């Protein structure tokens, strides 16, 4: 497992704010590092699976304003198989296998409550092995995976500042 060093983390933080920031700008902001090294390190971080750099879409901004969590109970022995089928629907923005009451947890993004209802009843409900679906609409999202930074790195930063 590749272990990012301090300089890597500085690059990652800048790219987390602006994924298209130029290599020269990054080098300038960090200091004591060449633009070429910046490019090399970004390539390593991507190749080692530490980061992805992507444009990702804000669903509200393109009309998908209804968010919901769906908890799916599945026939025992078919959890993974069902999860894979749920993940194929573009209506799901997040899919995981779970422990406890729910076997598969999914997040949905839809244009209206009616569309949500139809999708759950007519699509999810008809996947073989699905036994029950419970949908809960989410009125407010405060945070998502795109801005996640490892707590121990943030702690280091705090220390550096003080």
- Looking at the Cβ atoms of 28 and 154, the one nearer to a second copy is 154
- Looking at the Cβ atoms of 4 and 27, the one nearer to a second copy is 4
Residue 91 as a binder of a second copy (CB under 8 A): the answer is: yes
Q: What is the C-alpha to C-alpha distance for residues 109 and 91, in angstroms, rounded to an integer?
A: 6
Interacting residue with a second copy among 5, 58, 159, 161 (CB under 8 A): 58
Residue 140 as a binder of a second copy (CB under 8 A): the answer is: yes
Contact set for a second copy, span 96-125 (CB under 8 A): 96-102, 105, 107, 109, 113-114, 116-117, 121-122, 124-125
Residue 20 as a binder of a second copy (CB under 8 A): the answer is: yes
Residue 61 as a binder of a second copy (CB under 8 A): the answer is: yes
- Looking at the Cβ atoms of 27 and 68, the one nearer to a second copy is 68
Interacting residue with a second copy among 5, 90, 159, 162 (CB under 8 A): 90
Residue 5 as a binder of a second copy (CB under 8 A): the answer is: no
Q: How far is the CB of 30 from a second copy (least distance, A)?
A: 14
The packing angle between helices 6-17 and 23-30, to 10°, is 130
Residue 68 φ then ψ, to 5°: -145, 150
- 64-97 burial, b at 16+ Cβ within 10 Å, e below that, comes to bebbbebbbbbeeebbeebbebbeeeebbeebee
- Integer angstrom CA distances of residue 139 from 113, 116, 136: 12, 14, 10
Residue 161 as a binder of a second copy (CB under 8 A): the answer is: no
Q: What is the C-alpha to C-alpha distance for residues 104 and 74, in angstroms, rounded to an integer?
A: 8
């Amino acid at each position: 497992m590749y272990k990012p060093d301090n300089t890597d983390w500085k690059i990652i933080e800048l790219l987390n704010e602006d994924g298209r920031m130029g290599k020269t700008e990054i080098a300038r902001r960090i200091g004591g590092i060449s633009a070429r090294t910046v490019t090399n390190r970004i390539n390593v971080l991507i190749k080692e699976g530490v980061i992805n750099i992507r444009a990702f879409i804000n669903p509200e901004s393109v009309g998908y304003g209804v968010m919901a969590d769906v908890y799916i109970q599945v026939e025992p022995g078919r959890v993974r198989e069902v999860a894979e089928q749920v993940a194929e629907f573009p209506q799901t923005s997040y899919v995981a296998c779970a422990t406890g009451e729910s076997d598969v947890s999914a997040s949905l993004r839809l244009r209206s409550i009616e569309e949500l209802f139809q999708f759950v009843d007519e699509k999810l409900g008809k996947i073989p092995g699905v036994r029950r679906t419970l949908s809960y609409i989410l009125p407010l999202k405060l945070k998502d995976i795109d801005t996640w930074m490892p707590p121990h790195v943030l702690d280091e930063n705090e220390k550096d500042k003080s």
